[in-house]
Amino acid sequence: MDRTLSLLSVFAILVFGCISSEAPKIGRYGSEHSHADFKVYINNAAIDFAQASYQGGHSGNESEEAECGNETQLAHLDNGDGDVVHKHATGVTWGYFFSELSMNLTDNCLVLDNETAFCNSNGARWRFFVNGSETGQLKDVEIRDLGRVLLTYNATDEQIRQQLASVTSKSAGESKGEVCRITANKT
Can you say how many angstroms the Cα of residue 158 is from the centroid of all Cα atoms in its chain?
25
Question: Residue 186: what pLDDT?
Answer: 39
Q: For residue 79, give the nearest of 57, 101, 100, 97 by alpha carbon.
A: 57
Fold of 26-174: Ferric Hydroxamate Uptake Protein; Chain A, domain 1 (2.170.130)
Can you say how many angstroms the Cα of residue 133 is from the centroid of all Cα atoms in its chain?
16
User: CA-CA distance, 48 to 150, in Å (whole number)?
Assistant: 14
User: CA-CA distance, 152 to 184, in Å (whole number)?
Assistant: 42
What are the residue ranges spanned by the domains of the chain?
A: 26-174
Q: For residue 78, give the nearest of 10, 174, 143, 158 by alpha carbon.
A: 174
Question: Residue 73: what pLDDT?
Answer: 86
Q: What is the pLDDT along the chain (187 residues), one digit of tens a residue?
A: 544 434 333 333 333 333 334 455 899 998 999 999 999 999 999 999 999 999 984 444 444 444 555 567 899 999 899 999 999 999 999 999 999 999 999 999 999 999 999 999 999 999 999 999 999 999 999 999 999 999 999 999 999 999 999 999 999 988 765 555 554 333 3
List CB contacts of 2: < 8 A, sequence separation 6 or more: none
Is the pTM higher than 0.95? The answer reads no
